[in-house]
Homo-oligomer: A and B are copies of this chain.
Amino acid sequence: MVANLVEKAEQLREKTIARRQDFHKHAEVAWTEFRTAAIVAETLAALGYEVLAGAEVVDEQAMMGVPSAAELDRHVERALAQGANPKWVEKLRGGKTGVVGILKGAKPGPTIGIRFDMDANDALEAEDANHRPVKEHFASVNRGAMHACGHDGHTAIGLAVAEVLASLRDELSGTVKLIFQPAEEGVRGARAMAVKGVADDIDFLLGMHIGFNTKKIGQLACRIEGFLATTKLDAVFTGVAAHAGAAPEAGRNALLAAATAALNLHAIARHSQGPSRINVGQLEAGTGRNVVPANAVIKLETRGTTSAINEYMCSEATRIIKAAADMYDVQVVIREMGGAAGAENDLCLVERIERVAEKLGIFEEIMPSCYFGASEDCTYFMERVQQHGGKAAYLMIGTELAAGHHDFRFDFDEAVLPQAVALLSAAAVELLQQ
């Protein structure tokens, strides 16, 4: 049957590549994946999946870093103009662009979940003729949105896996649950679906990424360590403007509040229990050279190898920001803009996946270990599954990249697509066998 799956995945190769290129061309950034999600929902439904979408799978309160209502509306119009099915778009309104497909196998058994992310990056895609998406005419038509992280591939893989598993329904003992998540960039989207409970009944959860630390076709990494828990914060300071020459004492200086916050944030004490991170990535303040600045915003993130260490960083950061505002007698509003939990792959599940991969015979190198060292909000789903007694693993599937992730010249070797389809399908079959 395993050889069979490699063949099935191969048969879907062209379709999968076509889908990936279509998603690439119509790249949609976080919370605006109206067209992508509508296509996902429609396809899953057509394959016989029970489809949940919008408010059914996304908790509005838990959404982070959502564009304004006007911006969302604009994207709804854009998506409709780009052919999105109005029925599904309607369900997704308000940026609730998550979709879940459920397929019950012929026999009872555990539930396996596979999670895919759908959003593009805020980036201007390369326009030179050497960039393959340009040459082959699938470069993004949505200016400022670009799939520079491979989520277009992830979504296409997900739909092909859906098709393979639907064709094997009679042989499955248990349930397949495919989670298509918005807004992974900025780690903003998973929490809203996790909080909604979509992963709570999953016994085995798989997440995956193409590329990254596996840089060649045929590489596979299952023993992933070093997921960094993270919190993304914006702090908006509001002071009082004054003429810097005529009445400096009348001002309340938001710029200096932000500057002293930035400096002291970076001075948060290191944590003895494991790596932590802090970064104030942006600071914008002031309106004119001769005005005491009344406005400032900083955009920062904290990280930690465990959720506890990240919480330490985040709680220190919050106190420091507030004190910086007090120091300059300005107001501050702190907003949580994103986040991811820490996580650990379950070793017993990892070993099963590795055995499946070996059987497939398409992976030349299964890496003995792999340090992630970054953040992925798939961890929110993993945490929920593990809290409920399930097992979770996150995989990296190799492919050559034209440029690094998030680079405006990013592209990948699409040969990874059928390989990923085969592996995930095979893993599901393995886990849902009696």
Contact = CB atoms under 8 A, between A and B. Distances in A.
A401 to B, nearest CB: 15
A92 interface: no
Interface in A275-330: 275-293, 296, 299-301, 303, 312, 319-320, 322-324, 326-327, 329
Given A283-B286, A291-B281, A263 B256 contact: yes
A282 B277 contact: no
Contact of A312 (B249, B324, B337, B375): B249
A246 interface: yes
A83 interface: no
A276 B286 contact: no
A282 B275 contact: no
A44 interface: no
A303 B281 CA distance: 26
A209 B244 CA distance: 20
Given A264-B327, A286-B282, A326-B322, A247 B272 contact: yes
B301 A289 contact: yes
A275 B291 CA distance: 17
Interface residues of A, number: 66
Given A263-B263, A269-B253, A277 B228 contact: no
Among A247, A272, A291, A312, the most chain B Cβ lie within 10 Å of the Cβ of A272
A63 interface: no
Contact of A279 (B262, B280, B282, B292): B292
A372 B261 CA distance: 34
A282 B326 CA distance: 20
A290 B282 CA distance: 9
A136 to B, nearest CB: 29
Nearest to A253: B269
A248 B303 CA distance: 12
A368 interface: no
A269 B289 contact: no
Contacts of A299: 286, 288-289
A355 interface: no
A374 interface: yes
Nearest to A273: B249
A299 B290 CA distance: 9
A196 to B, nearest CB: 25
Report copies per complex.
4
Contacts of A323: 323-324, 326-327
A186 interface: yes
B270 A283 contact: no
B276 A270 contact: yes
Nearest to A272: B247
Contacts of A249: 269-273, 312
A280 to B, nearest CB: 6
B270 A267 contact: no
A266 interface: yes
A270 B269 contact: no
Nearest to A281: B289
A255 interface: yes
Given A251-B269, A283-B286, A284-B284, A230 B245 contact: yes
A161 to B, nearest CB: 29
Contact of A266 (B267, B373, B374): B267
B282 A288 contact: yes
A303 B244 CA distance: 9
Among A245, A258, A264, the most chain B Cβ lie within 10 Å of the Cβ of A245
A263 B275 CA distance: 21
Contacts of A327: 264, 319-320, 323-324, 327
A126 interface: no
28 contacts: A186-B289, A243-B374, A244-B277, A245-B279, A246-B373, A247-B272, A248-B269, A255-B262, A255-B280, A256-B263, A258-B259, A259-B259, A263-B263, A270-B277, A279-B289, A279-B290, A281-B288, A281-B291, A282-B286, A282-B288, A283-B286, A289-B300, A289-B337, A319-B329, A320-B327, A322-B326, A324-B327, A326-B326
